[in-house]
Structure 1
């Protein structure tokens, strides 16, 4: 038994983001670690191993099909017999139907939830007993989970944003698939997105596991890698696989004794709160309130900052979130963005960016391809999603 070695396993890592995660881990962790590429197909796994060795790293390989209990059990037995435990698990394997898929929604729901939720859980059930002290678990999630939450009915939103046990999360996923088969998804308050709901399941699973899994400094998080140039995005994502691997690797290598993030969802190393964004009626009322307060001279007493321009852009941003959820249509995508500090009349020509540099993100968003999964209902800067959250260090009364 090679018990002296620490062990990292990355599921679905013969290509794409998983491939890049393996490479990063090998470079960061060094020779005292055994880092495993896994793949359903052994030939593709061997090819990935060869490519990675050409890039100067020495990972190992084990066949793994997360949809197969037998395959998962073989990996668990191998790790236990060879190393006695596991130190890093990155659940990267997953699927998504293309936007133009003609498969019935019931089929998409069943297959997508089966792989992205149930098979991820299958891996956890098999490998969590092997987790050693200070182990790190990372589930690849997606900001599409936020979109799905915000497109759910108010009743379902309330349920989804309350703390849930893992058993309750399982029941939710089963209910969604049953509703899809019965053709009553929307009547039950669910959005019509199998991939989005599967990632809601992964996110809620993360929150539940972080509360329920017992162990010495075992830390479980999930993250969105962003819109990455992979097969899943039909190579339309602006991020490279190495950029997409950054946050998963950051979470997988959190140091011992870390206090945060634990049981969180991150994007670009920042925690993204799990919350419903305001509806349009609320946004309009908010803007009317600010103007009334300004006229009455009570802006600061009401908690508003003394900036008309800033508050107007708060309104635009909240309007974007609300519209993305409320506007009905076939693949209608609504986003907002910051062009940066641009050399224009508005900045008195003090901005360092040219007008063409400032135009880059608006044009990127205006030309997103049909069936794009993300960004939807987001705010971007330099083609990257900027989470809507209070930054650390601020105090909220």
Structure 2
């Protein structure tokens, strides 16, 4: 008898994270458990109750408070799930902080980097070891994170880097933002670009170390680009939403990958968009204005 699957999504109170939980709960089995996580206890409880009561829900849905900026809390939850269930089968690192163009980027840098990058690092470090064979661990990212979007001076910081080296590069970038020297060092003004590059580099670092064992077992470690999704996070930065997807539409493509029985080995460790690999080295440094870039 096949054991129940355990799935976890961070930043799942709203947007694509919520849509992913909805989709998992309707497409996974009655013995499976989907954990909807976020920082705000009330919002987590309300969102989990909404999914649990939805007509198409089949799986058990649990709301759990998880602040991904607290590496200790992330590690504790991973350890708990390993002890209770023997590991996890699907992990989606989706949490992000709101970034707006109406405030100086330096004022928003710490929270944004702590959630998007610190959270990604914590999830990879803690949930990678408890991912069961054949499982899926993905980071929601963007094609804005292609290495080519960085100034050539900065690309060696992330290309072929270990996770420790990625973390060091992120802290160097953060320090430059606060010191007012980021621009002269080649860092893009828009925090989202280097943040996404670092997220994908972190995924690639972990995948490079695990590939030999993971690929034969059908396990997937990858970054996912869902395309332009109409959410409060994207609204301030893009002017044309005519081709944007709703969170539910974007989630369906991601769910097809997460719930597929077999994974194309070519996707392992890569940035995946609509089922295809987005080349890591593509892209060009952004020109003005940053906000017109498409994900």
User: Which band: TM-score by shorter chain?
Assistant: 0.7 to 0.9
Selected match of 1:255 from 261, 279, 283: 261
Aligned position for 2:123: 123
Q: Cα–Cα, structure 1 residues 22 and 155, in superposed 2: closer, same or farther, change >3 Å?
A: same
Aligned position for 1:21: 20
Aligned position for 2:40: 41
Aligned position for 1:153: 151
State the Cα deviation string for residues 218-259 of structure 1 (Å, max 9, x = none): 320111112212221249743111122134323322424642
Once residues 253 and 97 of structure 2 are traced to their aligned partners in structure 1, the CA distance between those partners, rounded to angstroms, is 20
State the Cα deviation string for residues 162-183 of structure 1 (Å, max 9, x = none): 3222222122111111111221
Once residues 161 and 273 of structure 1 are traced to their aligned partners in structure 2, the CA distance between those partners, rounded to angstroms, is 15
Counterpart mapping for 1:94-105 below 5 A:
94-100=96-102, 102-103=103-104, 105=105
- C-alpha displacement of 1:85: 0.8
Aligned position for 1:228: 229
Q: Which has the larger radius of gyration?
A: 1
Selected match of 1:197 from 183, 194, 197: 194
Once residues 168 and 158 of structure 2 are traced to their aligned partners in structure 1, the CA distance between those partners, rounded to angstroms, is 15
Counterpart mapping for 1:290-301 below 5 A:
none
Specify the SS of the correspondent of 1:129.
coil
Q: Cα–Cα, structure 1 residues 130 and 271, in superposed 2: closer, same or farther, change >3 Å?
A: same
Once residues 64 and 278 of structure 2 are traced to their aligned partners in structure 1, the CA distance between those partners, rounded to angstroms, is 33
- C-alpha displacement of 1:65: 1.2
Higher RCO (CA 8 Å, separation ≥ 6 residues): 2
Once residues 193 and 115 of structure 1 are traced to their aligned partners in structure 2, the CA distance between those partners, rounded to angstroms, is 16
Q: CA RMSD in A?
A: 2.5
Pairs aligned (count): 282
Aligned position for 1:9: 8
Once residues 123 and 259 of structure 1 are traced to their aligned partners in structure 2, the CA distance between those partners, rounded to angstroms, is 22
Aligned position for 2:109: 109
Aligned position for 1:375: 294
Aligned position for 1:264: 270
Once residues 16 and 263 of structure 2 are traced to their aligned partners in structure 1, the CA distance between those partners, rounded to angstroms, is 27
Selected match of 1:245 from 232, 244, 251: 251
State the Cα deviation string for residues 164-223 of structure 1 (Å, max 9, x = none): 222221221111111112211122221112121111111111111111136443320111
- The range that moved more, 240-249 or 5-14, is 240-249
Structure 1 consecutive aligned stretches of length 4 or more whose deviation exceeds 6 Å? none
- Judge conservation of contact 2:159–2:201 (CA < 8 Å) in 1: no
Aligned position for 2:63: 61
- C-alpha displacement of 1:48: 1.0
- Judge conservation of contact 1:23–1:52 (CA < 8 Å) in 2: yes
- C-alpha displacement of 1:160: 5.5
- C-alpha displacement of 1:4: 3.2
- Judge conservation of contact 1:161–1:275 (CA < 8 Å) in 2: no
- Judge conservation of contact 1:223–1:265 (CA < 8 Å) in 2: yes
Once residues 152 and 6 of structure 1 are traced to their aligned partners in structure 2, the CA distance between those partners, rounded to angstroms, is 39
Normalised to the residue count of structure 1, the TM-score between the two structures is: 0.65
Q: Cα–Cα, structure 1 residues 13 and 325, in superposed 2: closer, same or farther, change >3 Å?
A: closer
- The range that moved more, 214-223 or 86-95, is 214-223
- Judge conservation of contact 2:35–2:61 (CA < 8 Å) in 1: yes
Please tell me whether residue 164 in structure 1 is matched to residue 170 in structure 2. no
Q: Cα–Cα, structure 1 residues 246 and 160, in superposed 2: closer, same or farther, change >3 Å?
A: farther
Specify the SS of the correspondent of 1:260.
helix
- Judge conservation of contact 2:188–2:286 (CA < 8 Å) in 1: no
- Judge conservation of contact 2:15–2:231 (CA < 8 Å) in 1: yes
- Judge conservation of contact 2:136–2:220 (CA < 8 Å) in 1: yes
Aligned position for 1:133: 133
- Judge conservation of contact 2:37–2:44 (CA < 8 Å) in 1: yes
